[in-house]
Amino acid sequence: MADEKPEAKEESKKKSPALLIVAGGVALFLIAIIIIVVLLVLPSGESEQPQRVSGGAAGGAEAMLGPVVDLNQFIVNLLSADGRRFLKIKISLELSHKNAGPEVENKMPLIRDAIIQHLSSKRFDEISTESGKVRLRKEIENNINRYLIDGQVKSVFFTDFVIQ
């Protein structure tokens, strides 16, 4: 019996370093994952500077993005024979300069009403293609600019676009 205890101690000593190495490796792996997630999720602090965009509605090469106003989500029925199609859309407006922001905010009910009226006059086949979406952007931009005096909408961005 006295012989069994020293052997058990030797086996536990052999397992201890291996267990510590594995636990340390797992801990380092988890720390690395946490650091990567934090770096990807947290903002970089550059949000106050103008944003750079390329392509899309900004048109062509890399351009500076002006002040942006996000509009609340729109859900409208599309023009159809059975009335079963609807559009869920979220729109952001790029303004010509920061002084246009307060005017857009003051005229928000008028702007939202104009957009709702325009969207609900569209059929599925008019807005389901890429060229239809480009045309819709330009039409919304022109409709809103009719109401603005202090500035203009430079670009319209669809940040959410679902047709059902």
pLDDT in tens, 108-135: 999 999 999 999 999 999 999 999 999 9
The per-residue pLDDT of the chain, averaged, comes to 82
Q: What is the pLDDT of residues 28-48, one digit of tens each?
A: 888 888 888 777 776 554 444
- Residue 69, strand partner residues: 93
Nearest to 114, CA basis, from 161, 74, 157, 67: 74
H helices of 89-129, in order, are 100-106, 108-120, 124-127
Average pLDDT over residues 57-82: 79
What are the backbone dihedrals phi and psi of residue 150, each rounded to the nearest 5 degrees, phi first?
A: -75, -15
Position 53 confidence tier, pLDDT thresholds 50, 70, 90: low
What are the backbone dihedrals phi and psi of residue 51, each rounded to the nearest 5 degrees, phi first?
A: -90, 150
> 152: helix, coil or strand?
coil
Nearest to 97, CA basis, from 55, 139, 154: 154
The tokens describing 29, both together, are 């792996």
pLDDT at 12: 54
